[in-house]
Each structure stands twice: as C-alpha cells, then as structure tokens.
A = this chain, B = another copy of it.
Amino acid sequence: MLKAPDHQVAGHEAGLGKLGPLIDDLGRFYKPLQGGNRGSEEVAFYESFSSNTHIPEHIRKYFPMYYGTKIMKASTGVDHPHMVLQDLTSARVNPSVMDIKIGSRTWAPDASEAYIAKCLKKDRESTSIPLGFRLSGLQVYIDDESRFYKPDRNYIRKTGPDDVRLLLRKFVSSNPSADMEIGTGSGPGPGPDCSLASSVYGGPNGILAQLLELKAWFEDQTIYHFYACSFLFVYEKRLGLKGAWSNAEVKLIDFAHVTDANGVIDHNFLGGLCSLTKFISDILSEIEDCTGTNGQVEL
C-alpha cells in the first residue's frame, strides 16, 4: 500500500494531482523523476555510485540504498518513472528530522545562465552564502500530546544565521517550541534546553562524529561534486533519552546536480560541511562548559 511519507520536511509533497514521493510498508521510498534533466541526472548518479568500487564501505552507509527505477502510478494518479530508494525513516517511531542543503553555491559551473541566476538569488537570500549551508526543513518530536514542532517552510526559508543557530539547538531540545532568547543550553532556562545534544550530536556515534568521518572523505575524494545536495539528520527521542547510544543518523540525499569532480575535491561542499560541523561542535562545547558533561568527541 503506497502513501505519502509521514515525515517529509522538505521537497515536493505528494498530493491531489501533485507529483511527490511515495512510500510502501516494506521500507522503500519512491521518488518520481523530476523534470528537465534532473531526474535522469539523479538516476545516473545512483547508477554510478552503486557500481563505483572506489567508494569506501564506511562512506557508502551515508547514502540511501538504491534499488533501480520503476514506472508506476504516481501520486498524481498517472504512470510516471520513479527511483526506488531506501525509506530513511521507515524503521523510526516519531523521528526528529532535519534537512540541510550544503554548500554556499548550489549551482554547477556548467549550468545554464538562467539556472545559475535563479540559484544565486536563492543562495544570497538564504544563509547559503554567509554560512555555507541552509536549512530546508525540520521536525522535532515533543511528546504524544504535542506531537511535532515543525516550523513553517516560509519561516525556514527566511531564517538568518542566528535563527539557524537557534534551530540547530531546538532540534536537540525537549522544548523546541520555546520562543525565547537563545539560552545557554543547560537545563531549564531561557531558550531551548538542548537536553538531547550530547546523545544526538555528541558521543562516538553521534552526528558530529559522523560529519567528521564524512569530512575526512571529502578532503580527499575527487570523484563527485555534490551541488544542491542535502544532509538529512534523523534521530528518535525515546532512544536518545535511554542514554549513550545516540541512534542519530546522517544521510546524504538529493543528487540531481552531482557532476564529475575532474580530479578536484568538492571544496564547495567541504566548506559548508566544515561550517556546519563548527556550529554543532560549538553547541556541544557550550553544554560542556555549563554542565561539565562531555558529549563531544575528540576533534
């Protein structure tokens, strides 16, 4: 039985007459091929990536599984080609999810003038240029009564650097709706409490450790340049509260604008990745300063 995903925070949404992704109950995510060259480019990336023997196994786990393409009835009711991918939230109960588009530049050098102008405008109006990344969407699970904190996409689109810092804190807080000044992150007080920061961002398997593993690869890999690609952060609060094992996952998604690296590292992606890493490591340091706990991995 196919349906629209429950935990989508960014991208096109399936709806009445609207083309969007679908999921089944076997853990698969059906992404309709986008118009123009984007759909075929994304398929080409998945095909190339799946068969590339130079991708280390410890890096492959950061990418969704790819099961090929399939022509099937789309969310619009009409037959359409889809990529069959791993559904990244299928095994999760009430996942908290964040989508972050990486890179200060979201256009490839060989894109059309019109497309470059459109992207450049968005990059300048968002935090992509100042921060090297921008938030595309998020949801944070609160409890069974309040369910999710899920700020409006129009708000997300307008966030400045300080809002991004605040939202990265809210993502690991038990009171994400707190609309106060940025707090210290140490327990109840003004602002989000960051109570899940050490278990989600910190620790040997936390998000920071995963970002650092990816960073080491990006400092060296000269296979692909990932334009307009996103990180998806996913974790479950119920598991996060249980202690050490963070259950947090980082995945890379959206590959419609991947190009050949031509022997050069992806300095645009790497710069944004390092900037995001610094934001997250700062949140962990602030917590440590306040509580004396050490949620941070060795840098």
Q: Which residues of A contact B (CB under 8 A)?
A: 104-105, 109, 120, 124, 129-132, 161, 165, 219-220, 222, 262-265, 267-268, 270-272, 274-275, 277-278
Contact = CB atoms under 8 A, between A and B. Distances in A.
A225 to B, nearest CB: 9
29 contacts: A104-B105, A105-B105, A105-B129, A109-B129, A109-B130, A130-B262, A130-B264, A131-B264, A131-B267, A132-B264, A132-B268, A161-B262, A161-B263, A161-B264, A165-B263, A219-B274, A219-B277, A220-B278, A264-B275, A264-B278, A265-B274, A267-B271, A267-B272, A267-B274, A267-B275, A268-B271, A270-B274, A271-B271, A271-B274
Contacts of A277: 219
Contacts of A274: 219, 265, 267, 270-271
Nearest to A109: B129
B278 A219 contact: yes
Chain A at the B interface: mostly helix, strand, loop or mixed?
helix
A51 to B, nearest CB: 25
A130 B129 CA distance: 17
Contacts of A278: 219-220, 222, 264-265
Contacts of A165: 263
A268 B277 CA distance: 15
By Cβ-Cβ distance, the 5 closest A-B pairs, closest first, are A271-B271, A267-B271, A132-B267, A267-B275, A265-B278
A165 B264 CA distance: 10
A141 to B, nearest CB: 28
Nearest to A222: B278
A290 to B, nearest CB: 18
A222 B161 CA distance: 13
A267 to B, nearest CB: 3
Given A161-B263, A219-B277, A222-B278, 10 more contacts: A104-B268, A105-B129, A130-B264, A131-B264, A132-B264, A161-B264, A265-B274, A265-B275, A270-B274, A271-B274
